[in-house]
């Protein structure tokens, strides 16, 4: 069939990129983003390390369990979380096999934390680690998760939730750029962004029941900028526009609706849309107002904002308020910041384009390759 021949062609292209010298990482990123992602776990074992620049010839030996667990401050919490993670294993897996994997899962987490004392465990981290364990096995998973934890997941592993909240702050501005009606409805309902917290910090691993969808998203996120999961979260909300607008406009109803994620999402379409939005409204554009103000002001004067944000559980309101204040100041000069407003009318045209293989993929490849360490400076001054 047509699908099979397309698949065969893609597999051939992936192996060609893997076998070229040097390895063609931009091509691998494009394959991971484009329709169907990396197709099989066998291919993921080869490509995921390349996307994370992990050298598979020189993997550290597997951590030894007993000494890791003694005197480890996180051990009890990790144990509890891993015991509760039954539904993350394939249905029908024999108990003893699953229990063996759960022991490995505990060891991988404790090993990464022990080697990187600057990282702090958070509930939901095990949902990410188990995905790697099931796809690539314990030894490679340990190396990949360590790299990921010091890069893409770094902000979730701070001692406080401040940076995680900051990333959640992007959700409403993205929605606002594409669909101001949905944005304003959510603002009126005062729903905040906490409904998307578990999506973000587990890369959707915790909320999607079909493992194939989870690994397809991991292909995409590993190939992209670390903020891509928040764009994907925004795209899910936008996709559910009608349900949101039909909902009672109060916090409990909208929060309940949004936190129940539909399992039959059109993943390929949404991945492509998230890529489009990333290119159209890059993080630097959305972050400007937040980052610049933080650079310019002292900790004492921003404290009120944070206090307000944490009381309301709605950091996005604060972000928006600041943005409006700046706009008022800059309207005289017809600042570039007002430009995206006119872009709203191309929403349908843009949403209809599936440029996952075209400009979007290339722009993401570029930004993904360039994001560190400039990225942290740019957004988290």
Pull the structure tokens for residue 103: 């022991």
Dihedral through CA 90, CA 142, CA 42, CA 155, nearest 10?
A: 80
Q: What is the end-to-end Cα distance of the chain in Å, rounded? A: 52
Average pLDDT over the chain, rounded to an integer: 80
Q: Global pTM?
A: 0.77
156-181 residue pLDDT tens? 999 998 889 888 888 999 998 999 99
User: Which residue has better confidence, 323 or 273?
Assistant: 273
pLDDT grade for 321, boundaries at 50, 70 and 90: low
Phi, psi of 298 (to 5 degrees): -85, 165
Give dist(CA 165, CA 145) in Å, integer.
22
Q: What does the pLDDT read at residue 299?
A: 40
For residue 377, pLDDT beyond 80? no
- Residue found under tokens 């490995």: 104
For residue 323, pLDDT beyond 90? no
The CATH-assigned architecture of domain 2-155 is Orthogonal Bundle (1.10)
What value does the mean pLDDT take over residues 19-45? 95
72 touches 110 (CB < 8 A): yes
pLDDT grade for 335, boundaries at 50, 70 and 90: very low
User: Which residue has better confidence, 62 or 142?
Assistant: 142
Task: List the single range of 176-185, 256-265, 353-362 with lowest mean pLDDT.
Answer: 353-362
C-alpha 225: how far from chain center: 9
264-301 residue pLDDT tens? 999 999 999 999 999 999 988 887 644 532 443 334 33
221-257 residue pLDDT tens? 999 999 999 999 999 999 999 999 999 999 999 999 9
Q: What does the pLDDT read at residue 65?
A: 65
191-209 residue pLDDT tens? 989 999 999 999 999 999 8
User: Which residue has better confidence, 323 or 135?
Assistant: 135
Pull the structure tokens for residue 134: 């099931």
For residue 349, pLDDT beyond 90? no
Give dist(CA 14, CA 111) in Å, integer.
32
DSSP string, 134-163: HHH-HHHHHHHHHHHHHTTTGGGGSSSSHH
356 touches 363 (CB < 8 A): no
Q: Where are the CATH 1.10.8.1310 domain residues in the chain?
A: 2-155
pLDDT grade for 320, boundaries at 50, 70 and 90: low
Residues 6+ apart with CB under 8 A from 345: none
Q: Where are the CATH 1.10.472.80 domain residues in the chain?
A: 161-312
- Residue found under tokens 């959707």: 204
Phi, psi of 264 (to 5 degrees): -105, 40
Give dist(CA 271, CA 216) in Å, integer.
10
CB hemisphere CA count around 206 (13 angstroms): 20
CATH superfamily of 161-312: Ypt/Rab-GAP domain of gyp1p, domain 3 (1.10.472.80)
Pull the structure tokens for residue 159: 């001692």
For residue 343, pLDDT beyond 90? no
Dihedral through CA 232, CA 132, CA 208, CA 44, nearest 10?
A: 70
Helix (H, G, I), strand (E, B) or coil at 351: helix
Q: What does the pLDDT read at residue 58?
A: 83
Among residues 187, 285, 199, which one has the least CA distance to residue 234? 199
Pull the structure tokens for residue 251: 């916090």
């Amino acid at each position: 069939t047509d699908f099979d021949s397309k698949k065969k062609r893609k597999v051939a292209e992936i192996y060609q990129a893997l076998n070229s010298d040097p390895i063609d990482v931009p091509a691998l990123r494009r394959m991971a983003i484009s329709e169907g992602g990396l197709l099989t776990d066998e291919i993921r074992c080869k490509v995921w390390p390349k996307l994370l620049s992990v050298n598979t010839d020189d993997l550290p030996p597997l951590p030894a369990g007993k000494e890791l667990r003694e005197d480890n401050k996180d051990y009890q919490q990790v144990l509890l979380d891993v015991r509760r993670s039954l539904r993350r294993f394939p249905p029908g897996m024999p108990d003893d096999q699953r229990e063996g994997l759960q022991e490995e899962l505990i060891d991988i987490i404790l090993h990464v934390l022990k080697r990187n004392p600057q990282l702090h465990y958070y509930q939901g981290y095990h949902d990410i680690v188990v995905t790697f364990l099931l796809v690539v096995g314990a030894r490679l998973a340990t190396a990949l998760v360590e790299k990921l934890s010091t890069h893409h997941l770094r902000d979730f592993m701070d001692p406080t939730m401040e940076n995680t909240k900051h990333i959640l702050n992007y959700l409403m501005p993205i929605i606002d750029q594409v669909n101001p009606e949905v944005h304003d409805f959510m603002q009126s309902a005062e729903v905040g962004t906490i409904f998307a917290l578990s999506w973000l910090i587990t890369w959707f691993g915790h909320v999607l029941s079909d493992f194939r969808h989870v690994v397809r998203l991991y292909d995409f996120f590993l190939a992209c900028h670390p903020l891509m999961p928040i764009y994907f979260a925004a795209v899910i909300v936008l996709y559910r526009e009608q349900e949101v607008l039909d909902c009672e406009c109060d916090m409990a109803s909208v929060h309940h609706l949004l936190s129940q994620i539909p399992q039959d999402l059109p993943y390929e379409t949404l991945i492509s849309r998230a890529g489009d939005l990333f290119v159209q409204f890059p993080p630097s554009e959305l972050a400007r107002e937040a980052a610049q103000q933080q650079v310019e002001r002292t900790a004492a004067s921003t404290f009120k904002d944070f206090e307000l944000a944490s009381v309301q559980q709605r950091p996005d309101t604060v972000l928006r308020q600041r943005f409006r204040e700046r706009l008022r100041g800059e309207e005289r000069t017809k600042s570039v910041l007002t430009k995206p407003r006119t872009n709203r009318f191309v929403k349908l045209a843009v949403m209809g384009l599936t440029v996952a293989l075209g400009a979007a993929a290339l722009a993401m490849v570029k930004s993904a390759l360039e994001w560190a360490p400039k990225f942290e400076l740019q957004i988290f001054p």
